[in-house]
Amino acid sequence: MHTAGMRLTPNPPRMITVGIALALGAVGLVYAWPIDGLMSLIAPVTDVIASVGLTMDRELGFLCLFACPSLLVVGSLLPGI
């Protein structure tokens, strides 16, 4: 009886995944530890998020920082992401 599970082999994530992860990391860094000089550069992101009904605050900044490496790990383990 063969009961081998699915093997996850690490592959490099796609460039779109890396780009999204870097954007999440940058936004998270600016909002988790408020950097006043960069807040004006990321104001359009705040406007887009506000249209969805979220407010960009420190908590969402930390969530973005957590999502950044998580997205890279998922992108390297699951094919097509």
Instruction: Say how many domains are in the chain.
Output: 1
In a domain, 1, yes or no: no
pLDDT score for 12: 86
- Residue 41 forms part of a structural domain: yes
Residue 28 inside a domain? The answer is yes
* Tokens representing residue 48 in the block: 């887009």
Measured between alpha carbons, how far is 27 from 67 in angstroms, rounded to an integer? 11
Average pLDDT of the chain is 86
Say if 6 falls within a structural domain: no
Other beta carbons less than 10 A from residue 70's beta carbon: 12
Residue 35 inside a domain? The answer is yes
Does 9 reside within a domain? no
The answer to whether 37 and 11 are in contact (CB under 8 A) is no
Write out pLDDT tens, residues 13-28.
899 999 999 999 999 9
Within a domain: 56: yes
Position 2 scores a pLDDT of: 56
pLDDT at 3: 58
Domain membership of residue 60 as a residue range: 15-77
Mean pLDDT of all residues in 44-72: 91
